[in-house]
Amino acid sequence: MAKLKIGVIGVGSLGQHHARVCTELPNAELAGVADINPARGREIAARHKVPFFADHKDMLKQVDAVSIAVPTTMHHLIAMDALAAGKHVLVEKPITATVAQARELIALAEQNKLKLQAGHIERFNPALKAAAAYIKYPAFLECVRLTTYTGRNTDVSVVLSQMIHDIDIVLSLVDSELELVSAIGDSLASGSEDIANVRLEFKNGCVASLTASRISGKKERKMRFFQKDSYITVDFLNPGVKVHKLKGDPRGVSDLSQVMELIEPQIDKVEQLKAELGSFADCIINDTIPLVSGRDGLRALQVAEEIMGEIEKRNQRLKGKL
């Protein structure tokens, strides 16, 4: 059977890896790259011996699907072009810059019976996949996502550039409607929020605390899950999982270690991006729903927009008190 032909639109610091991975998939191949920077585009195209297209619309005639890794503000325009041309789409997170744009993409994808996958790559993190079997009914979640300042992805809030990963994961794991959002955030190095802290409360009583920063002195990406019978830590940066599981009655015990079992699940050694793009190719070939669908991307974006709205309202209230 002929391999699925995938084109990559945007081959900057992230997109170049999309191109590389497409050459490594067993059921797909890299059919071309497009970029508004001709020198960069030709460099990556030459590296993989594929055609370069200065205009992504020209490449759409040569492919079955595209992976879009351009700045967030361009997601909607380019993805709409691809879907209108009858091509399946994987678009980096956040799915679009606004909820209205995301709804347009979903409507066009469904109208044309095409796959639309949101690039929430942390869903493919081997640590999260290993922990999933132990995460049942979390009562409290703590998410911390810190990185150093690089100047990249500052065209949008840290809520959209970083925290949205954790928003998507929390929404996928908590089987309940979101009831209350409270948030704080501020800009220190760019024109939008560089730091943010959020509290999400769900109707079933679950509470999630999310912290994101792109101006920290270290990198950290961790989640902690608290359940009635266990405490689970997940390290996304250095993939690892620790499950502290209750195995006896803790009442009257002075040392909880006597009734706790430590489980450290084995972590598969897989490249997240390869797992993500491979899953995208599989869902097209097998006609299944993407693991992270366009609707998943929309839901995460809706919550992100609500968070940014709460931050704005709080900051306006504080200004009024000064």
- pLDDT block averages, 10 residues each, the chain of length 322: 91 97 97 98 98 98 97 96 98 96 98 98 97 95 94 81 97 96 92 94 98 94 95 96 86 72 94 98 97 98 97 87 63
CB-CB contact of 302 with 118 (8 Å): no
pTM value?
Answer: 0.93
Instruction: Show Cβ contacts of residue 102 under 8 Å, excluding neighbours closer than 6 positions.
Output: 76, 95, 96, 294, 297, 298, 301
CB-CB contact of 244 with 259 (8 Å): no
User: Given this model, what pLDDT does residue 200 score?
Assistant: 98
User: Given this model, what pLDDT does residue 21 score?
Assistant: 98
CA distances from residue 306 to 8, 118, 159, 175, 296 in whole angstroms, order as listed: 31, 19, 10, 19, 16
- Compute and round to an integer the Cα radius of gyration of the chain: 21
Instruction: Show Cβ contacts of residue 43 under 8 Å, excluding neighbours closer than 6 positions.
Output: none
Residue 40's beta-bridge partner residues? Answer: none
CB-CB contact of 298 with 106 (8 Å): yes
HSE (CB half, 13 Å, CA atoms) of 249? 2
Residue ranges per structural domain of the chain: 4-120+273-290, 123-268+305-311
Q: Which string of b and e fits 36-62 if b means at least 16 CB within 10 Å?
A: eeeebbbebbeebebbbbeebeebbee
Distance CA 301, CA 99 (A): 6
Same topology between domain 4-120+273-290 and domain 123-268+305-311: no
**CATH number for the 123-268+305-311 domain, one of 3.30.360.10, 3.90.1150.200, 3.40.1020.10, 1.10.10.10?**
3.30.360.10
User: Given this model, what pLDDT does residue 209 score?
Assistant: 98
User: Given this model, what pLDDT does residue 64 score?
Assistant: 98
Domain 4-120+273-290 part of CATH 3.40.640.10: no
Q: Is 272 helix (H, G, I), strand (E, B) or coil?
A: helix
Q: Is 248 helix (H, G, I), strand (E, B) or coil?
A: coil
Q: Which helix (H) or strand (E) holds 109?
A: helix 99-111
Amino acid, single-letter form, for residue 235: D
HSE (CB half, 13 Å, CA atoms) of 211? 12
CB-CB contact of 83 with 114 (8 Å): yes
User: Given this model, what pLDDT does residue 149 score?
Assistant: 86
Amino acid, single-letter form, for residue 121: I
